[in-house]
Chains A and B, each alone.
Chain A
Amino acid sequence: MFPSLPARCSRPAFAALAIAWSVAAAPALRADNESLTFEPPLPTTDDVVVAVVHQTGSCRVWIDVDRSGGVLAVLAREGLSPCPPDVAAALATQRLSLGRLSLGVHLVEARMQPPSNAVLATGGTEVLPAAGGSDPSFDLDPRLPTSEDAIELRVRGTLYCVTGLESASVDGFLVNVVPMFLPIDPCPPLPPVDRTFALGELPPGEYRVALADAPIGGFHVAAPSSILTLRFDGVDAPVRELSAALDRSYPPLGLPRLARAVALGDQAGYFWFFEPGNVEVTLKLLDGRPINGHLWVFASSLTDRPFTLTVIDQSRCDSGDPPSCPTRTYTRGPGVVRSIVDLAAFPD
């Protein structure tokens, strides 16, 4: 009845196989048209999941939930046979609580109680992380990493039957976090897990993070850059594109002259000198055109190192060879920690 499975089959793989098989073999199984749905339709780890059994023309009573054997099941006992139509109608939809389920795909069988154990329907539901980050979530440091940064991944949450996090490994663009399970079922309430892993430097790209093969999210690693690209869209005005770079005057020997840039959005970003966690200058451009016809430049300095900040209006360059573009330059000498405010930076 079931397809033969490998001796060791991961849970998602088993679920996928079983769900595919149940869809293919459904007509042979659903003699009384049993089917299985779940409430809520998109459960999170905070939700109590309810299995809803739909049946037609049957007096079966769904009475219990079985968690043994590695597969979650709802169990039925036979009822009246033949089944009076009014009784069948009353028993057409029955609900059983499965409780809170852990993150990931859960396969659920609807079957007869022992000794029959006949499987009448199979369904599956995917449990997503709860909002608010209570279950499992992760944070990166830095939050906007580039391929030059030593990335740290902090994973935490309250996980069913998990006592800790053993390791995290990177395989291509997958970061797999391995949990340590408590080998008993049902599990008592356990304290939340919290561990930080050093992933090192990763190539640019989109990464997925999985916990015991269940996806919990992803992150982006950008290519490093020393240029901030900023942009303004006017309702009745042409788009303005600007670029900004920070020259660290007299950098320590062996270090690049230009600071690294990290964009926070289209109109703000920051620069760092020594390490990505140590923000030195934060830059924001505000659209002051409705007030005085200019774009405004603000830069907050958290460093006493000398630097020169250059902002170029790329959308107003002339057609010369090489082109000349409106440029604003701001300098700070050694030992000076002072912000930059320019309300007449770039006229409209």
Chain B
Amino acid sequence: MRQRRPVLLAAAAALLAAPLAAASFTVSPRLPASADAVEATVRGHFSGCVYGIQASIERRTVHLAVAYSGVTSCPADRDRVFVTKVPSLTPGTYIFQLEDQSTVLDRQTVKIAVEQTALALGGGRFAAHLDFRTGGEPEPTAARAVALTGESGYFWFYGPLNPEVTLKVLDGRGVNGHFWVFVSGLTDRPFTLVVRDDGSGCAGPLCAPERTYTGAPGQLATIVDLQAF
């Protein structure tokens, strides 16, 4: 009976605590890749017996379950925020589901992308790749790429929510016959960005299908190339 008591108390606490009226969550980063640490931030009006959110994975569903402490006398309900880490996910589409005692409070579809070191822009016509150095290492490191739109994206070095170099390629052919490249750096680490035009159909020595842009150490690079391709 003593061993069952905590279980009974937890069950009683769960029964006494009414299901949440409203709660929601956000997933960060919003464009996760398979190697990223994913977190879910849950916001709602919670029973005082709620001590956190427990994340578990079942096939393609990530369950975010409201967890209750095993006490029968609960503090007053109040607005609270919980942040919980989600176990690592392989690439694919998942349903994230916030649950309170088998009631689904909120649901979102989240796509876990394959890690990328190249940005495909312009419908795949342009491919961009960025290498950087943080110290005196002999070989540069390939930055991870996150596409935002068909024209824009960014590279990160240390974390997906810490963009270091933002890139966009715009179609300026209607203005001056060229595609335009814009690069903006938020890092003073040296980097080399290569943008390649895979769809020019150009061949021969006068073609320049690649453009290389560099960020000097100790400086924030801002590059506008209106003659890129």
Contacts and interface: CB of A to CB of B under 8 A. Distances in A.
A264 B29 CA distance: 6
B81 interface: yes
Nearest to B183: A302
Interface in B147-194: 147-152, 154, 160-163, 165-166, 168, 170, 182-186
Number of contact residues on B: which range applies? Answer: 35 or more
Given A129-B92, A152-B150, A300-B222, 9 more contacts: A131-B114, A133-B113, A142-B149, A206-B109, A264-B160, A264-B163, A265-B30, A302-B152, A341-B186
B149 A279 contact: yes
A262 B146 CA distance: 14
Interface stretch (A7-15, A212-220, A316-324): A212-220
Given A131-B91, A216-B93, A218-B93, A279 B148 contact: yes
B88 interface: no
A152 B149 CA distance: 10
Contacts of A268: 29, 161-163
Contacts of A174: none
Contacts of B20: none
Number of contact residues on A: which range applies? Answer: 35 or more
20 contacts: A131-B91, A131-B114, A132-B91, A144-B148, A152-B150, A217-B93, A218-B95, A219-B111, A263-B30, A264-B160, A265-B160, A266-B26, A270-B148, A276-B149, A282-B163, A300-B165, A304-B224, A339-B184, A339-B220, A339-B222
B23 interface: no
A89 to B, nearest CB: 34
Contact of A141 (B59, B91, B150, B154): B150
Interface of A: 42, 128-129, 131-133, 141-144, 152, 206-208, 216-220, 231, 233, 239, 262-268, 270, 276-279, 282, 284, 286, 298-302, 304, 337-339, 341
